Amino acid sequence: MHLPFDLYDRWVLGAFDVVFGVFSFVSARRFIEICGFFRGSESTGGIDAAIERRKELEALSPLPWRVIGIVAILLGVVVLFNGLPGVASYGLICLTMAIALGTTYLRLRNRGERRAASLEPRAVTSVVTPTWLTAGVVCALAPLLFADDSRFRGSAIVVMLASLGTIAVAMLAAEMPALLTGEDVVAELYVDRRLRRVRVHSLFALGLGTPWVFCAGVVGYSAATPLRIFAYWFVLAAWIAFVYPLFFRRKEVPS
């Protein structure tokens, strides 16, 4: 049994926006910390030193995540005061994340003051296969199935753009040149490969999850057509199939 749509759209989504915004703002520095991507058994003197050099090269700022947090808090407050539909705020927050993360990775791509050359190929599909890219685009388009309902039309389009944008950022991260100082190329390439895989997988999983959360939130409040129900389960299945091997089977790339 679902809550009335007005209650869900205003109070549930509005409160979620505010809580997510506060969490993003407070945890901004945690989101840019890269040490957590390496298990303790992998920590050696050379790897630890390479991680520190990588942090200096990237010089990531917590500002993008704080911007995301502020935007989410403001949108949540507007939703709670009934100035904006909750589903629209969700789409705008997702779009803000895609833009903020895209800006961050573009900045990394253009850093070149102390970069050593690497001949390792950086194909877009070397981390996420063409099959998964196709599935990702299909999932990103799923919210459009709800666009014929005036309550969801605008937010469905924004969520689709946010999902496609996040997938594009993942592909941008996949083909970025290696960031190396040249002091210990073997260790630095190891760190670079690990960061590349983790970041691309995380961004792609976010791109898959964005339309599913939207579909899960509105499917119970719209006409239950077979296509909409199929889209909901397809996006959920795709997200689980991609995420499960990463977290539970220790596979680097889903297949």
pLDDT category of residue 146 using cuts at 50, 70 and 90: very high
228, part of any domain: yes
Q: How far apart are CA 113 and CA 120, in angstroms?
A: 20
pLDDT of res. 49: 87
**Does residue 240 belong to any structural domain of this protein?**
yes
**173, pLDDT greater than 60:** yes
Return the pLDDT at 42.
54
Interval 80-109: pLDDT, tens: 999 999 999 998 999 999 999 888 887 877
Q: Tell whether the model's pLDDT for residue 248 goes beyond 90.
A: no
Q: pLDDT-based confidence at 56, cuts 50/70/90? A: confident
Distance separating alpha carbons of residues 183 and 180, to the nearest angstrom: 8
Structural domain includes residue 204: yes
Q: Which residues contact 33 (CB under 8 A, 6 or more apart)?
A: none
Percent residues over pLDDT 70 in the chain: 88
User: Is 40 a residue whose pLDDT tops 60?
Assistant: no
Q: What is the pLDDT of residue 16?
A: 95
Radius of gyration of the chain, Cα coordinates, nearest whole angstrom: 20
In a domain, 185, yes or no: yes
Q: Which of 49-58, 105-114, 142-151 has the lowest mean pLDDT?
A: 105-114
pLDDT value of residue 151: 87
Question: How far, CA to CA in Å, does 68 sit from each of 85, 115, 148, 150, 180?
Answer: 18, 30, 29, 27, 29
Poorest-pLDDT segment among 83-87, 162-166, 171-175, 205-209:
171-175
In-domain check, residue 162: yes
Per-residue confidence band for 111, with pLDDT thresholds at 50, 70 and 90: low
Separation CA 127–CA 196 (nearest Å): 8
Q: What is the mean pLDDT of residues 130-159?
A: 93
Domain span at residue 29 reads 5-116+123-248
Q: Does residue 125 have a pLDDT over 80?
A: no
Evaluate the CA torsion angle 216, 152, 78, 22 in order and state its sign: positive
The structural domain count of the chain equals: 1
Please determine, for residue 156, whether its predicted confidence score (pLDDT) is greater than 90.
Answer: yes
pLDDT surpassing 60 at residue 238: yes
pTM of the entire predicted model: 0.85
Q: Is 127 part of a structural domain of the chain?
A: yes
Q: How many residues does the chain have?
A: 255
Q: Is-contact 215 238, C-beta < 8 A?
A: no
Q: Is residue 213 part of a domain?
A: yes
Q: How does residue 113 score in pLDDT terms, banded at 50, 70 and 90?
A: very low
Nearest to 34 by CA among 66, 60, 64, 63: 60
Q: How confident is the model at residue 247 (pLDDT cuts 50, 70, 90)?
A: confident
For residue 255, tell me if it sits in a domain: no
pLDDT surpassing 50 at residue 21? yes
